[in-house]
Structure formats: structure tokens, C-alpha cells
A and B are shown apart, each in its own frame.
Chain A
Amino acid sequence: MPGPAGVVQMDKASYEQICRILGEKRSFLQGDVACAYGALLAGCDFFAGYPITPATETAETLARLMPRLGGAFVQMEDEIASIAAVIGASWAGSRSLTATSGPGFSLMQENIGYACMSETPCVIVNVQRSGPSTGQPTEPAQGDMMQTRWGSHGDYEIIALAPNSVQECLDMTLLAFNLAEEYRNPVVVLTDGEVGHMREKVILPEYDEIAFTARRQPTVAPADYLPFQSVDESLVPPMATFGTAYRTYVTGLTHKESGLPTTDDAVAHTRLITRLVEKITRHRVELTRVEEQFLDDAEVAVIVYGITSRVALNAVRTLRQQGVKAGYLRLIGIWPFPEEKVRQLGERVSRIIVPEMNLGQLVHRIRELVPDSCQVSALPSIGGRVHLPAEISSALMTDRKSPEPEGQHHV
């Protein structure tokens, strides 16, 4: 395992030890459990969390496995404390994780902003449930897409990934740790109650299939090290951890490259925040992850993500069998938004349907990007009900000139 004083490339022995603890290479797991497995295979050695439906299985799995791998697991007194501990652990050299759902995710927002401001790598799994407030605790939703992007105050960027299967819960959580280190930023894995509780086949990746992004360490002498100074085009500064000769001061206040606060300097603030935003947006293309099917000759298309994508793919396949030129674009990386892919699709098709398990969130972002010649329609389903394939196929078939049926939610 990576030692407490610094993260190193995972060695083969560690990988084998993790696999031994995880058991068989091929198993039938819940999405929440797969997130825990993905974290461990990413070298995660710290988890702090608080029980909440439908995310608790991630914590339960890591409570069982983490001490067997020499990592740390702690059940905190609330979600605010959980994300706080996760950030603290990251500065002490851990690859750290928390998992939660809507109400807990709301509580974490202030400290997620702190993680962005302090450029702290960490991973948050948000198993979305129906809200607002306590809502429908056991029902899936996709209601936190915008909260993930804008939930904390001020200007910042976040990285978010939306798996649509149990295997992807593992793969995306694993990837999230690498992205967190690469960009020194919190990464959110946005699953939902359906994917989180669903059981499917999971195959553990082989050693050489696993990328491992180690934390970039400073190369200069401690006296010359500026923990918040970008040293190259990536705009991501090397990060020393606590316990080394690179004594570091971290604050959520606007700070200089040294880390020391400067709170009334507009220039310094602008420089810092612009860099924090640009270090993500500059890498939008590298961070774009989509799945494209049937797009070459598509006349109409769906843009979907998460569990809903599987309904949409079923619908599109059915339509294709009927000769309808329907296409499918799945967003895997949600934030930063895959603008170019959406823009290109909007230029090629006349109509885009956006089925979401909310009353219309990403549909707005999509509308901003496509030309007027492309009609974009929301297709909401809330209350915990996953769309039916027929709903999506009939929405795709609806003549764009006909008015929307009465009672349908307009967004």
C-alpha cells in the first residue's frame, strides 16, 4: 500500500494483495460495492463517511476491507466532518474517499469548495436519490447534476463522472482517483440509487490495465517550493504532503502562491481563481468522455447519462430495427461539460431528446450549445421511476413540429 508519508506508484505486490482481499476476479456486485472496489484498486487508503441510503454499502464494504489492507476507515459524526477528514487525510498523503447521497452531499458543499480552493485531491461518490430535502430516500434520481457543478459558493470547476453500470462504478471510481491527483481537484462520481443498488457482473481489472497517477511531488528545494504556483502549462502545481521537509500552509482564504493569505488584493484573487478554473477547462478535451452509438447517419438523437442511458440505448436499438435513424450520445464525463461533442451533434441532427431523472438540468447546458436549427426537448421522469424505453422512443419519434402534449412539463 502507499505509505502514509507519500503516495508512490502502486507496486504489483500491493495490487495482488488488494485482489486477494477482494476475492474473485469475476463477481456479482452492487454498484456501491463496486465503487469501494474501484477505490481500493486505485490505491485509496482512507475513507471517512456517514451512513446514508442509498450509499451506505460503500462505507460498509470499506469498513470491512480497509483495515485488512492497512488503510484507515472512520465513521464520522456527519457528512461535513466526513469530507473534512477526507481533505485532511489527503494533505497527510492519503488517497481519500467519501461516499454519500443528496442530503449528505448538500452538507459537504462548503468543504468541497475548500477542496477546490486548496487544490486538494479527493473523491466523493454521490449516489443520487430523489430530493429536495429528505425526499424519497430509497428512490434513484439525477437531481444533483447542477449542484455538483455549482453547489459551493464562488467560482470553481469540478470534475464529475457518471457511470451507468456496476462495472463502470468500479472503473469510474478508480479513474476518479487518478484525475483527482492529476488535476489536484476534488472529483465526484455521480451514480444513483438504481446503479448503486443494482447487482451486475464485475470483472476486476488486470494489473497492467490499471493506470496509477501518483501525486506530483515538488522537484525544487523546500526553500524554493511554492505549493500554489503552477510550474507548467498544466497549471497544476506539484503538491508536497504534510510530514516532509516541504512545510506547507493551506488555507481557504485567497492566497498567494506561497499559500499565505492575501484577502484584499483583487489581482491576486483573480490570478488564483482564474488558474483554478483554467486548470480544468484547459483540459476539457482530455476530460471529455462519451459513448457514441448510431450517430453517423442519425437524424434525431438522445443525449443521456447514468442509468437513463441504458433505457435510451434500448429505445434507440428498437428504433433502428424499425428503420428510424436515431442516435445515442452518452455523457460519461459530466463536468467539465463535453461541449464540443454536444455542439457537433446539434449541428448534425434536427432534434435532441434529453431524458433525465430530474425536471431538466443538463438540458439547459445542451440548449446553450446547439444551433437554433436543432430542437432540444427535455424528457423528465421524477419520483424514482426510471424511464421506460417506449417513452424515449416515442419522444424521439414525435414530429418536431407538433406541439408538446398538454400537461407535459415545459423546461
Chain B
Amino acid sequence: MFNKALNIHKYLRRDMYPSIFCVGCGIGSVLNHTLRAVDELKMDMDKSVFVSGIGCSSRLPGYIDGNGLHTTHGRAIAFATGVKLANPELNVIIFTGDGDCAAIGGNHLIHAARRNLNLTVIEMNNFNYGMTGGQTSPTTPLGSNTTTSPYGNFEEPFDLADLVVGAGATFVARWPLGYPYETIACIKKGIAHQGFSFIEILIPCPTGYTDKNDLKSNKEIWEWYRGNTILRSKYKLLNEQEQDQNHKLVIGELRNVQRKEYTTEWAKLVNRLRDEQDRVDDS
């Protein structure tokens, strides 16, 4: 399924390498998956803007030979809102992390979902603040060790997919790293979707999180994902009580519906008012 002929380097800014990412980090793979989706969609890189906030995952736009807007902590979606509204022709993709978009930027996340603005958010959830050295984030699992939960995290984490579904996002999906075909297909769908798309990718952070939580090898991390996620197709087969008691993160395409999209509705309003003005001018 991979386009083996794809020379992914044509999408990269060579002078940015080597990257800042640690050995075993999942962010590079997400970049790879995204660029494969971009390639398959034949996106015009002149017309594409990659927006990010602050954190490891927010460094991604710097590696892409397109337009990049690396903004302030938590605000990527708000900046992206301005980009998209000012020029709806642009493809706007946001790279963000769990801390960036769910803690400091949580308000922007839910409001962008509510507006159903045609943006694609690719959120890399590594369960911690990696860049600052492994602190608790809003998605850190209960009991996990981080530098700011040295006795085990006792705050309930967000399920960000649930959160944005509740806020009105119209395309929502989640995949752990290790499902490349599904992830690439899902990013393609998310970008093509007319409305607010949110894709969460669970990624390891050996430096900040996984090592400290006894997930010291790819195999252990993979097994953790297997044990703590459930495919949506299987989840749907559970009875109501089982669904209520489920603590696993549901993975797969979680929502894909159509609802009025912001820029389309705005364009309609502009046209309607222009027609009204023309009638006034004619009379």
C-alpha cells in the first residue's frame, strides 16, 4: 500500500536535519505518515500551511518544505483559524501535542470543533510534556509516573477524541503508532473532510514517559497499546454495561459526519449580502 517510489525528501527542508527528536520518539513517524497522505492527495505545498504551537510535536512544520507557522504555546488552532478564514483556499494542518492542545490550548480546541472550521488537527499524544522533561499532561494515564506526579498521577485523564466529539468535531479518529496504513488513510480522510478533523496518534516518548513507566522497548510499548486500546468495531459489539466499564481508548475512525462548515457558510453570507446590496444599488 505504501508508495514505495515516493521520495519523501522532496517534502522536507534538508537544512533542518538532523531533527531534534530523541531515539524512539514517534513524532518522526507521524511526519512520515502525514507526508504520505499529502503526497497521495497531491496537495499543492504552496497552498498548504502547517501550523503548530509549542512542544516537540510542534517542531514538525519546520521540517516540511511548505508554509509553516510555529506559534505560541497552545494557540496553534487559534492562529490557524485566522489563516483559514483569511484565505479558505489554503490547506491548513495543525500539528500539536496533548499538552499544547488539551491543557493550555484546550479552549481553542473545543471552540474550533464547535465552529466546524475546515482545519485538520493531528494531535500526537505521548501522555506527557516531553520538551520540558516529562511532566504530567491532561492525558497522562492514572497512576503513571512523571516528574510532576512522582507518586503516580491521580488526576483523571482526558479522552481527547471524546472531548472533541462532544464539542462538535465532525471527523474524529485515533490510532496508536504502529498502524501505518490505517493512519495514512485516516489522515487523508481527515484532510479531505469538509469540516473540523481531529486525529489523535498515540506515540511513545522514551525520554519523558515510556521509560519511566516500565515500557522500555518497542515491544513493551506495542503491548501496552494492545492492552489499553480497543478497536471501534469491537467496542461497538460490547453491551451497554461493558461499554460503560470500558477504560480502554477506543481506536479507529470514531466519527465522520457532515455539518455546516464555517468558511462555506461565511461565503454564503457574503454572497447573500452582496446580492442584497446589488438589488439596493439597482433600484
Contacts and interface: CB of A to CB of B under 8 A. Distances in A.
Classify A-B as touching or not with yes or no (CB < 8 A).
yes
B111 interface: yes
Nearest to B276: A68
Interface stretch (A33-41, A85-93, A194-202): A85-93
Nearest to B69: A250
A72 B70 contact: no
A110 B90 CA distance: 26
B216 interface: no
Interface in B1-59: 13, 15-16, 45-47, 49, 51
Query: Chain A interface: which size bin?
Result: 35 or more
B47 A243 contact: yes
A70 interface: yes
B261 interface: no
A247 B90 contact: no
Contact of A86 (B46, B82, B88, B111): B82
A81 B85 contact: no
Interface string B88-102: 111000000000000
B266 interface: yes
A410 to B, nearest CB: 39
Contacts of B16: 260
Interface string A71-87: 01010111011101111
A253 B62 CA distance: 11
Interface residues of B, number: 42
Nearest to B54: A252
A358 interface: no
Given A46-B86, A114-B72, A247 B107 contact: no
Contacts of A86: 82
A242 B266 contact: no
B248 interface: no
Contacts of A247: 45-46, 65-67
Contact of A88 (B15, B66, B82): B82
A4 B79 contact: no
Contact of B82 (A78, A80, A96, A250): A96
B68 A249 contact: yes
B269 A84 contact: no
A103 to B, nearest CB: 16
Interface of B is mostly: helix
A70 B270 contact: yes
A371 interface: no
Q: Which of A21, A46, A249 has the most CB of B within 10 A?
A: A249
B90 A88 contact: no
A88 B81 contact: yes
A78 B273 contact: no
B108 A111 contact: no
A92 B82 contact: yes
Contacts of B90: 92, 242-243
Contacts of B88: 4
Contacts of A243: 46-47, 67, 87, 89-90
B111 A88 contact: no
A394 interface: no
Contacts of A84: 71-72, 75, 78-79, 81-82, 108
A248 interface: yes
A389 interface: no
A80 B105 CA distance: 10
B134 interface: no
B277 interface: yes
B187 interface: no
Contacts of B277: 20-21, 68
B86 A78 contact: no
Interface in A6-47: 20-21, 45-46
A251 B82 contact: no
A242 B273 contact: no
A72 B78 contact: no
Interface of A: 4-5, 20-21, 45-46, 48, 67-68, 70, 72, 74, 76-78, 80-82, 84-94, 96, 110-111, 114, 242-245, 247-253, 258, 260-261
4 shortest interchain CB distances as A-B pairs: A88-B82, A85-B82, A84-B78, A89-B86
13 contacts: A46-B86, A48-B82, A80-B78, A81-B108, A85-B79, A89-B85, A92-B83, A96-B86, A242-B49, A242-B69, A250-B68, A251-B70, A261-B70
Given A80-B75, A249-B62, 4 more contacts: A88-B84, A90-B82, A91-B83, A114-B72
